[in-house]
Structure 1
Amino acid sequence: MDLSVIVIVVVVTALIFDFTNGFHDTANAMATSIATGAMRPKVAVAVAGVLNLVGAFLSVEVAKTISSGLVDEARITPVVIFAGLVGAILWNLLTWLLGLPSSSSHALFGGLIGATLVAAGASAVDFDTVVTKVVLPAILSPLLAGVIALVATYLAYRITKRGDRATVSKGFRIGQIVSASMVALAHGTNDAQKTMGVITLTLITAGALAPNSGPPFWVVLSAGLAIALGTYLGGWRIIQTLGKRVSDIQTPQGFAAESASAAVILTSSHLGFALSTTQVATGSIFGAGAGRRLASVQWSVARQMALAWLLTLPAAAAVGAVAAWLASTGTVGTVVVAVVAIAAGAGIYAISRRKPVTAHNVNDVPTPGEKAPAGTAS
């Protein structure tokens, strides 16, 4: 296949991944605000979309980590990157269908690593970077965010203990608008950069950019627009999970969770750590749930999420590896990978329409201990 054609295919595929990242991760910023009523669902995703676009222009440190630190760009081709992206996209779609807030970031890393291992061997993967800038942040960031949110929730309830409940609730609702907006901004800053990094890596491997180059402006703009559009459409299934299935979140908890998430994500973006914003947001929500006395936290849901987190990187790596093997056979193999990926994506979407979750029924799920209303979509 002509190099210029495959580069165009990879860029388009990367932007499709960015789009799935947007609707998969909308919940990170807006799930608690929608659950508490601080923001109406459609307004929330619109605000998140705009701020994701703005956030994409704030930093490129994470993009540099991916484009020049994760794999040896001199030993892979755009076809390998295409195969890795296929693994990431299919995992994103599957976990969205199940309503599981897994990591789009780790799906991307897993897909790229699996494809690179098949195409160029283990020596082409910088495992030191994988450990220090991917694995360790994956372990520490949700724990740190959870502890911060737990302490913040406890203090919020202690400080406002003697206040009028209606006034306190209204104040935290306003606060949630600000804190949720900060998370959306942080998400654009961190996650849009991952697609920027992949496109930049593709251009480097194709010889269109010099090694260690940063992303050109058009790459930053297109990645920002793709993730913003995906965010605006809203990943309602995952919003429902984080907003309603984890705990009965109240406004002080929502404010604490969002503030903790924003702080951790923005700090990591500045340091170039490509962490999972999903794991950070989930850790914050569980911490906020545990920080309120007598709150019911669904730890069974936490186990499901933890299993998805553990499977994300190896599962995406396996798909990326198979896709890379097929694509390495030539143009026909690459076309087969593309056709299978499109068919699988269409099948997942078709299944999702059997029990749709939308802006109108996203909060129609019982809080822990309550009986499900008749006809509730799951």
Structure 2
Amino acid sequence: MVTTLLVAVICLALIFDFINGFHDAANSIATIVSTKVLTPFQAVLWAAAFNFLAFFLIKDHKVANTIANTVLEQFITMHVVLAGLVAAITWNLITWWFGIPSSSSHTLIGGFAGAGMTHALYMHVNPMDAINLGPILRIIAFIFLAPIIGMIIGIVINILILHICKNAKPSTAERWFKRLQLVSSGALSFAHGGNDAQKVMGIIYVALVAQKVIIYGAVMPEWIPLACYSAIALGTMSGGWKIVKTMGTKITKVTPLEGVSAETAGAITLFVTERLGIPVSTTHTITGSIIGVGLTKRASAVRWGVTINLVWAWIITIPISAIFAAIVYSIVRYF
């Protein structure tokens, strides 16, 4: 049965997806903006188009299934989903305001898991019994693995390109790499849409299950991916300029060649993890890739002070989102 609360939860989920878009727009457009390949307006349109293209080409929603299985079915209620979303939106807006490229994915996972654990606590059940520990441990592992994988692939690609183009005229090479950045940023935006929109699909799906609109294990209604890909694309079109500045200039100075290397490395990492059904952070992945291309020049080319601050933001995202969700759930459970 469709209720006002279900409609509110779906709207909040799509709002989160929209915020995810403008929060993470920097991931795919920071380098093409900082290297002046496209203007900011052109860049967000380009990224949004590839975000939405994923709707037509990705039909096996493994990441959405992982998110839906984060909290065990018997502990999923509408209040749990609502509290998780409110917590995720709150932390996303806080990090956006301060220009911190934290993970929207881990914000959502932390909020959902935190609300589920709090619900179990009020039921006088061990909070750990409410969560599916296997998927959550894989997700936590990839907080660290995704940027490392992106960094390694970024180093390898950058070294290969430098070796292949060592005899090219600098002006000719730069012109070609500016063109190639359109391809690499498009691939990264496609991978971002395919990975991140699925996380909200999983949340909407469990909301429908909690409200008994569909049964657990049923095929996901087609309107869910359509709505989620549309929301994230519209969010990307809104930009996220504070984070663009951090990603595009504060970690290391990025040239068109390095932009191609970083974006390609990020896209490859996201494609592989999406196929494995692991909801990794686009933010973490591209940050690791940018650090990787910086390291091919010299270690001092990376601004380690900024990088360490980013890592701390990544580490605290899940626990802080879980705490926010616990507080919100403790309030909304009375309504």
TM-score tier by shorter-chain length is over 0.9
Pair 1:294–1:287, CA change in 2 (3 A): closer
Whether 1:239 aligns to 2:244 is yes
Distance 1:214 1:230 in 2: 27
Q: In the alignment, what sits opposite 1:356?
A: none
Distance 2:2 2:218 in 1: 20
TM-score (ref. length: structure 1): 0.84
Residue identity opposite 2:129 in structure 1: S
Pair 1:158–1:294, CA change in 2 (3 A): farther
Q: Is the 8 A contact 2:294 2:302 kept in 1?
A: yes
Q: Is the 8 A contact 1:64 1:214 kept in 2?
A: no
Q: Is the 8 A contact 2:72 2:130 kept in 1?
A: yes
The alpha-carbon deviation at position 161 of structure 1 amounts to 2.1
Q: In the alignment, what sits opposite 1:127?
A: 133
TM-score (ref. length: structure 2): 0.95
Q: Is the 8 A contact 2:143 2:314 kept in 1?
A: no
Whether 1:199 aligns to 2:204 is yes
Whether 1:173 aligns to 2:173 is no
Moved over 4 A (4+): none
Q: In the alignment, what sits opposite 2:142?
A: 137
Distance 1:275 1:201 in 2: 20
Q: In the alignment, what sits opposite 2:277?
A: 272
Q: Is the 8 A contact 1:56 1:193 kept in 2?
A: no
Distance 1:55 1:3 in 2: 28
Residue identity opposite 1:218 in structure 2: W
Residue identity opposite 2:100 in structure 1: L
Structure with more relative contact order (C-alpha pairs < 8 Å, separation 6 or more): 2
Distance 1:217 1:3 in 2: 17
Pair 1:294–1:274, CA change in 2 (3 A): closer
Q: In the alignment, what sits opposite 2:27?
A: 28
Map 1:321-340 to 2 at 5 A.
321-330=326-335
Q: In the alignment, what sits opposite 2:267?
A: 262
Residue identity opposite 2:308 in structure 1: R
Whether 1:287 aligns to 2:286 is no
The alpha-carbon deviation at position 74 of structure 1 amounts to 2.5
Whether 1:17 aligns to 2:16 is yes
Q: Is the 8 A contact 2:76 2:206 kept in 1?
A: no
Q: In the alignment, what sits opposite 1:62?
A: 63
The alpha-carbon deviation at position 154 of structure 1 amounts to 2.1
Whether 1:79 aligns to 2:79 is yes
Distance 2:183 2:252 in 1: 22
Distance 1:238 1:174 in 2: 24
The alpha-carbon deviation at position 51 of structure 1 amounts to 1.1
Distance 1:262 1:164 in 2: 28
Q: Is the 8 A contact 1:66 1:197 kept in 2?
A: yes
SS at match of 1:207: coil
Q: In the alignment, what sits opposite 1:49?
A: 48
Instruction: Give the aligned length.
Output: 327
Q: Any gaps of 5 or more consecutive residues in structure 2?
A: 121-126
The alpha-carbon deviation at position 3 of structure 1 amounts to 6.7
Q: Is the 8 A contact 1:142 1:282 kept in 2?
A: yes
Give percent identity, aligned residues only.
37
SS at match of 1:56: helix
Whether 1:308 aligns to 2:334 is no
Pair 1:139–1:194, CA change in 2 (3 A): same
User: What is the RMSD computed on CA atoms of the aligned residues?
Assistant: 1.4
Q: In the alignment, what sits opposite 2:161?
A: 156
The alpha-carbon deviation at position 139 of structure 1 amounts to 1.6
Residue identity opposite 1:109 in structure 2: I
The alpha-carbon deviation at position 237 of structure 1 amounts to 0.7
The alpha-carbon deviation at position 212 of structure 1 amounts to 1.9
Deviations 1:234-272 (A, max 9, x none): 011111100011111111110000000000101111111
Distance 1:127 1:80 in 2: 17
Deviations 1:109-156 (A, max 9, x none): 000111111112321111112112x11222211101101101211222
Q: In the alignment, what sits opposite 1:350?
A: none
Q: Is the 8 A contact 1:21 1:104 kept in 2?
A: yes
Pair 1:117–1:74, CA change in 2 (3 A): same
Q: Is the 8 A contact 1:157 1:292 kept in 2?
A: no
Whether 1:296 aligns to 2:296 is no
